[in-house]
Amino acid sequence: MTTALTEIRPMHREDAPQLARLEALVEASPWSEKNFLDSLNAGHLGFILEKEGQIAAWAVVMTVLDEAELLIIGVRPDMQRQGLGSKLLSFVLRELRGRTVLMNLEVRAGNLPAIGLYKRFGFLQTGIRRGYYPGENGSGREDALLMSLSPLPECGMNAGGSAA
């Protein structure tokens, strides 16, 4: 997927150091460089959205038979609120269409922007994992909402959240 300013490409091992640095800027319990490398070594699908030659967003998906789990998706802080997360998620869903019928994910219960994004794509809450995440600023624990999408849409969503 290419436009004048953005391109989505596969994630490479060489991306891991920069991804770990960016992840630390957006997550309370970020993935490390080793987490990214382990995931790629395990055969998970990794995607990078570049904007003007810089990594702007990233996603990693684990597939098992006809199911997928969105393990991680993030947008660097200085590029948030530009529809890049929507664009990347739309791309991921299109890539999985035809070989995956169900996508699951976990999201912090307090991450309202992410929950809103997933709901715009049709994800429904299917459960709660109590105390799943370390709390923000190292205090307590935070619940994870379990969300699922099935079947995957015929086409992805555009960056505005409507059918493409």
Question: 75 a known binding residue?
Answer: yes
CA atoms within 13 A on the CB side of 84: 26
Catalytic residue among 95, 106, 133, 142: 106
Closest C-alpha among 96, 89, 95 to residue 113:
89
Helix (H) or strand (E) holding 115: helix 112-120
**Do 88 and 47 form a contact (C-beta atoms < 8 A)?**
yes
Question: 55 a known binding residue?
Answer: no
Sheet holding 124-134, edge to edge: 6-10, 45-51, 54-64, 67-75, 102-108, 141-149, 124-134
Q: Is 106 a catalytic residue?
A: yes
Q: Burial code of 64-73, b = ≥16 C-beta within 10 A, e = fewer?
A: eeeebbbbbb
Q: Is 136 a catalytic residue?
A: no
Backbone angles phi and psi of 130, in degrees to 5: -70, 130
Catalytic residue among 23, 95, 118, 142: 118
Question: 61 a known binding residue?
Answer: no
Question: 26 a known binding residue?
Answer: no
Point out the annotated binding site: 73-75, 111
Active site residues: 106, 118
Point out the annotated binding site for acetyl-CoA: 73-75, 111
